[in-house]
């Protein structure tokens, strides 16, 4: 979340990807950094180490939301 907000502050469109277990932390950081409505997409948890096939399926399922966030739809 912090990286996403810092990227956006550079004028670069950004969406933060936040896994389910870290969603409350994402909300906390967005609030603390003064951008509570910063676009973010919730991913399943865990992701790390779940294998290429699973990661690909998550990416395919979430791509539209991520692009939508970047376009600020």
Quick one: which of 16, 29, 39, 69 contacts other proteins (CB under 8 A)? 29
Q: Say how far apart CA 71 and CA 28 lie, in whole Å.
A: 24
CB of 48 to other proteins, least distance (A): 9
Quick one: which of 9, 12, 13, 28 contacts other proteins (CB under 8 A)? 28
Spatial CB neighbours of 51, under 8 Å, sequence gap ≥ 6:
none
Spatial CB neighbours of 66, under 8 Å, sequence gap ≥ 6:
15, 17, 41
Q: Kindly state whether residue 24 participates in binding other proteins, applying the rule CB under 8 A.
A: yes
Q: Residue numbers of the site for other proteins (CB under 8 A)?
A: 2, 22, 24-25, 28-29, 32-33
């Amino acid at each position: 979340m912090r990286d996403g907000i810092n990227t956006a502050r550079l004028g670069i469109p950004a969406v933060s990807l936040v896994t389910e277990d870290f969603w409350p932390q994402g909300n906390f950081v967005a609030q603390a950094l003064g951008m509570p409505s910063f676009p973010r997409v919730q991913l399943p948890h865990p992701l790390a180490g779940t294998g290429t096939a699973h990661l690909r399926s998550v990416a395919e399922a979430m791509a539209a939301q991520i692009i939508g966030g970047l376009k600020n739809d």
